[in-house]
Structure 1
């Protein structure tokens, strides 16, 4: 056990990510149920609870930092925090700029929501959050893309008639549709995008990445991650991992 602990410490030190006493995690705080502000103004959500468990397992002292989505990668790269946990899908384009852990939310579909079930999303005006994989996809479809800084603004654009539909993560849209009293509905088929959601890090922080990766893998293997996914994304078929394949 002592040799294993020493090896872990040396590996973390080699990554160059632990000169500071606290690992800072950047999150948006505006994308429920992944991350959001509760009624008291505190960060809460799936990624907040998950991040705390990951840090406890990796024996790291961590704190969360709220940051707007459109500058979340630049502020990681510039050193304002050390990790991103903000509903960020793993894509080849992002992986050219930063590094990622393995996914902690499996690949899933994005979806359209509109006020009318008759909307032709291929010819409509579609709202999406800026610099997301959803915005990138809409730009290729022939629809008119309108981008907004926050996810709440994309939904508001549909409600107030600025857009015909919104395109976003399915699990973000589900509670919004359910709470709309029939005013909003899913339209068309889901669109699989991205390689799941993972934690983003600077390319130079290999030791920190490995520490987080180990904790995520352990949570997949013992079922803890599936329990958190079921808690924050309830439904008939919540997202989950098969421990036997990890």
Structure 2
């Protein structure tokens, strides 16, 4: 419901102001889209990689870290899709598991202009042009639709189209593409609730304060299967002109490690590792109706 793992109004204004300030100050050569840059193997020797801490790959993510992206709220255990992807990238870069250090980074803290303490952050973060003005993204490692979650037997559970949702009270986590999707795609009659994290969103749904919440599809699978017994996955919908959103690893703008991570991701895609990890950790087998 975020990176991916995407604000009360004041927070949104502050984040926007910071984003504009960084974009205005960034050199032109750094402000351009660097997502597709891929380094040559000769430029990615482990000993020569530009790291925050010598000999250690520092990876950021939010806390709590949710299923199915992480398992047991412990990113370091290698379980869950994003944890497994991070370790697969680390391995391609030449790092053993004990050379990977995880740090907590709140989602809204990802876009601060003062620099970062991580080499990259993995947290269901959607790649968008606006964000790409102030940070850099790796190539996408996963594409996901948005999904609507309601309580069984509620009016929202009977929705068969996006129009059926317009008159309902909807909510999503602050700063997430799910929240943007409510505003831009569903366009409800009332402003959506902006919630601090997924736990609050689930609680307000169960308390009847919200008719439905929106999350990325894999998270919605987990919520309805495990966390909310009376929850129902109403349907899924796509954003940005009918294309699913892509999650990318986030880097401080101008970070020279990015092209080497892209090289690692290319390898993991071509040899089938990413597909295998997706099959292992993400629930994509359920036939979910498409809301239009």
TM-score by length of 1: 0.81
Mapped partners of 1:202, 1:39: distance in 2: 24
Deviation at 1:168, TM superposition (A): 0.8
Q: Is residue 158 of structure 2 the alignment partner of residue 118 of structure 1?
A: yes
Mapped partners of 1:198, 1:180: distance in 2: 26
Q: Which moved more, 1:136-145 or 1:82-91?
A: 136-145
Q: Is residue 96 of structure 2 the alignment partner of residue 62 of structure 1?
A: no
Select which of 134, 155, 161 maps to 1:97: 134
Mapped partners of 1:136, 1:53: distance in 2: 30
Deviation at 1:32, TM superposition (A): 1.6
Deviation at 1:236, TM superposition (A): 2.7
Mapped partners of 1:218, 1:102: distance in 2: 12
Deviation at 1:68, TM superposition (A): 2.2
Q: Which residue of 2 aligns with 1:159?
A: 206
Mapped partners of 2:253, 2:165: distance in 1: 38
- Matched residue SS, 1:139: helix
Alignment of 1:103-142 (within 5 A): 103-106=140-143, 108-115=144-151, 116=154, 117-118=157-158, 120-140=164-184, 141-142=187-188
Deviation at 1:155, TM superposition (A): 1.5
**What RMSD, in angstroms, separates the aligned Cα atoms of the two structures?**
2.9
Matched residue count: 229
Q: Which residue of 1 aligns with 2:8?
A: none
Mapped partners of 1:237, 1:40: distance in 2: 26
- Matched residue SS, 1:37: coil
Mapped partners of 2:53, 2:229: distance in 1: 50
Deviation at 1:19, TM superposition (A): 5.8
- Matched residue SS, 2:145: strand
Distance 1:38 1:134, change over 3 A: closer
Distance 1:192 1:40, change over 3 A: closer
Distance 1:43 1:219, change over 3 A: closer
- Matched residue SS, 2:266: helix
Q: Is residue 220 of structure 2 the alignment partner of residue 187 of structure 1?
A: no
Maintained 8 Å contact 2:181/2:239: no
- Matched residue SS, 1:236: coil
